[in-house]
Structure 1
């Protein structure tokens, strides 16, 4: 058994196909098939169900996957740490940031971080919080911004900001003069809302369900800019983080009664090796978040 076999195995599982894994790995498909056949012979186990159109794991394959992922994580961590000890670190940070946050809090963070650490390369992926969690666990991201109160045990999280969740209405709306709204008042109005996968959606729905309320969702989209535009045009009301509408002259932010807050956290894989570049970004974000809260 060698590392290359484990890499082939992990990619086949990820893409559910020998062919797609070969394309991802830039090798010939027969080479991937032969490597897996040899691996199964060495283990004296069948790892894949090959009768189905999409490759799936056997029970033995599921168990082996856990070990393979752990070994590959350790190898990657060792390679990164050794490069840093030799002074050869590439200094790359792969971070996931939800779209709403990337537009209203992070541009300044990214600019200032890049100015402070000009030799580090920062790559940002815009996804919903639940997708970011999965990408960190799968090793596609080094770290990411997540929200909520409960997380998989495989993640390490640190809070960097607490932001108020507000109701958003046009300036001309009858509610615009209100200082706050109860959940019952909020639930009476048609809602322009986010699609599944956005934590803000799940938070609001959980809060409403807890109060025995069910909102009328008039339109759903994963584009928060479209949500803003439709609210401005009077199609319905919505919820945002306060920072999103703080400087918008066409929209009014109204607090909920009682107020609702969202904790924003930076997360990375627990027990994984966090490079100096990633540690620098996490420390910088935590420092700036603390300053913003003052």
Structure 2
């Protein structure tokens, strides 16, 4: 499934208007209509009921809209998390050690290292 088509469909469904979606996406209304029509052809299913003045989602459109909402919410969360990681210059280190070395030595080494590098996340396994 092409996320480009899904995004256009999602905006039209959310705005309940091809024109409002076009404005939000910074493309013209006819391009939005063509893209939605093409998406319907790819899916081989009508997504909107255009028989009345107001557009309404079909049953298939409703189901797809709910899934698209979840997808774009996850995309938004991923973007925010990536931005946070990049802006904070975060990193993660995984350390594994045996109990012979790990238990007496690692706490001493990590204490100094953590005080110098508080932006780093740690995953330590001793076994």
CA distance in 2, matches of 1:4, 1:74: 16
Query: Secondary structure of the equivalent of 1:76?
Result: helix
Quote the residue 2:81 is aligned against. 81
Counting only pairs closer than 5 Å after superposition, residues 31-180 of structure 1 correspond to structure 2 as: 31-87=31-87
Counting only pairs closer than 5 Å after superposition, residues 121-270 of structure 1 correspond to structure 2 as: none
CA-CA distance at 1:76 after TM superposition: 0.9
Quote the residue 2:12 is aligned against. 12
TM-score, with length taken from structure 1: 0.29
Alpha-carbon contact 1:16-1:56 (below 8 Å) kept? yes
CA distance in 2, matches of 1:74, 1:64: 15
Structure in which a larger fraction of residues adopt strand: 1
CA-CA distance at 1:43 after TM superposition: 1.1
CA distance in 2, matches of 1:3, 1:76: 14
CA distance in 1, matches of 2:4, 2:56: 20
Alpha-carbon contact 1:46-1:61 (below 8 Å) kept? yes
RMSD: 1.5
CA-CA distance at 1:47 after TM superposition: 0.4
CA distance in 2, matches of 1:53, 1:15: 14
CA distance in 2, matches of 1:40, 1:68: 15
CA distance in 2, matches of 1:6, 1:72: 10
CA distance in 1, matches of 2:42, 2:64: 13
Bigger CA radius of gyration: 2
Say which structure, 1 or 2, has more relative contact order (CA 8 Å, 6+ apart).
1
CA distance in 2, matches of 1:4, 1:81: 22
CA distance in 1, matches of 2:84, 2:4: 23
CA-CA distance at 1:68 after TM superposition: 0.7
The size of the alignment, in residue pairs, is: 88
Query: Secondary structure of the equivalent of 2:45?
Result: coil
CA distance in 1, matches of 2:41, 2:85: 38
CA-CA distance at 1:82 after TM superposition: 1.1
Alpha-carbon contact 1:49-1:57 (below 8 Å) kept? yes
Alpha-carbon contact 1:12-1:21 (below 8 Å) kept? yes
